[in-house]
Amino acid sequence: MIEVKNLCKSYGDKKAVDNISFKAHDGEILGFLGPNGAGKSTTMNILTGYLSSSSGEAYINGHEILENPIEAKKEIGYLPEFPPLYMDMTVKEYLYFIYELKGVKLPRNTHLKEICELVKIDHVYNRMIKNLSKGYKQRVGVAQALVGNPNVLILDEPTVGLDPKQIIEIRTLIRKLGKNHTVILSSHILSEVQAVCDRVVVINQGKIVADDTADNLSNALTADHKLIARIDGPREEVIKVISAIPGVVSVLADMQREKGVWEYNIEAVEGTDIRRELNRRLAARNWYIMSLRSSELTLEDIFLRLTMGESVDEFINKKASDLDDDGEDEKE
């Protein structure tokens, strides 16, 4: 269990972490979501004792990281943003080193073998780390964090730079680990956090802007009023018809995806669902909807929503009218 109270870290005038408090319980996967430079890595570095906080407290299973660093560090497995690997060692030598460095008491060979099987690096066990691919290096980094079977795992952007297959593997692994560890992982990808985490803490500019379960957060952040549709029909007229639907603020023809089929970005006033009306009006003219999906919120949109509060509508309307102007340009 991790408990963080009023954590601050400043470099000179700049506050990298500004009064952050949160808890992560046993058997919970907590996601840290934020853009680059939000303070995710700094927070993680403080939790693991790599950096010292300017003020505030961080407890790892009851041990304060600054007051009782050795005990607290024994509870943590840490995968930093760049896996801390010694390139001149083989995977085996490196894991032996980590095993000894952490002063682990478990039987060495069976323990390391278990970890290697778990993260699937057993077939590169005797290879030099510098000769491994990025994905394998990342896995060795994860293996390193698992040595000693720590209760708390802190993973800083564990899937960055991996290919989609590896990403899925690592996510599955993290979910597996989350059953009997406390896991904190950071990411700047919303869908990743949604896929893996039980709870999400969103930070921006060093401050927590949301702390909720992943489901609640994604419900609050769905964007049914923003649609991407592929419609088979004459472009100019389709735009006119859609624009006439009540609630629509902007329609933008993106590009031709198939012969005669254009992709349109449709934005309606927030809270209105125009999908039925869209179907009805297009069908009446014998045009076909080839695909229809709601556009995902970008991280930028999320922060706008979470940070700007009530002024968000105003902002979106302004943005919509900008888009509208563009749309009109396109029509001409």
Partner 1 sequence: MRAIFKREVSAYFNSLIGYIFLAAFFAASGVLFGITSVTKSPTDGLLYLTTDMSGMYSILFFALLVLIPILTMRTLSEDKKNKTDQCLLTAPISLNALVLGKFLAAFMIYSIGVCMTLVYAIVLNFFAEVIWLEVLGNVVGLLLVGAAFISVGVFISSLTENQVIAAVGGFVSMCALYLISSIAAIIPIDWIKNILMKLSFADRYYRFTYGIFDFSNVLFFISAAVIFLFLTVRVLERRRWTNS
Q: Specify the DSSP element, H or E, that contains 207.
A: strand 207-213
Q: Smaller CB distance to partner 1: residue 45 or 186?
A: 45
What is the nearest approach in angstroms of partner 1 to the Cβ of residue 181? 16
What is the nearest approach in angstroms of partner 1 to the Cβ of residue 21? 21
Q: Smaller CB distance to partner 1: residue 80 or 327?
A: 80
209 CB-near residues (< 8 Å, 6+ apart): 202, 203, 303, 306, 307
d(CA 142, CA 115) in angstroms, rounded, equals: 9
In the region spanning residues 69 to 108, those forming contacts with partner 1, defined by CB under 8 A, are 69-71, 73-74, 76, 78, 80, 82, 84-89, 93, 97-98, 100-103
144 binds partner 1 (CB under 8 A): yes
What is the nearest approach in angstroms of partner 1 to the Cβ of residue 323? 42
Q: Which residues pair with 200 in a beta bridge?
A: 31, 212
131 binds partner 1 (CB under 8 A): no
What is the β-pairing status of strands 63-64 and 55-60? antiparallel
243 CB-near residues (< 8 Å, 6+ apart): 251
Binding mask 248-287 for partner 1 (x = CB under 8 A): ----------------------------------------
What is the nearest approach in angstroms of partner 1 to the Cβ of residue 227? 44
What is the nearest approach in angstroms of partner 1 to the Cβ of residue 209? 24
Among 25, 17, 60, CA closest to 41: 17
Q: Smaller CB distance to partner 1: residue 71 or 270?
A: 71
Number of residues that bind partner 1 (CB under 8 A): 30
**Quick one: which of 52, 172, 216, 219 contacts partner 1 (CB under 8 A)?**
52
What is the nearest approach in angstroms of partner 1 to the Cβ of residue 217? 30
d(CA 190, CA 192) in angstroms, rounded, equals: 5
In the three-class reduction of DSSP (H, G, I as helix; E, B as strand; rest coil), residue 188 is classed as: coil
315: Cα within 13 Å, side-chain hemisphere: 13
Describe the strand order of the beta sheet including 261-268 as a list of residue ranges: 248-258, 261-268, 226-232, 288-294
Q: Smaller CB distance to partner 1: residue 181 or 199?
A: 181
Which alpha helices (H) appear in 77-184, and where do they start and end?
91-101, 108-118, 134-146, 164-178
The residues of the shown chain that bind partner 1, judged by CB under 8 A, are 11, 45, 48-52, 69-71, 73-74, 76, 78, 80, 82, 84-89, 93, 97-98, 100-103, 144
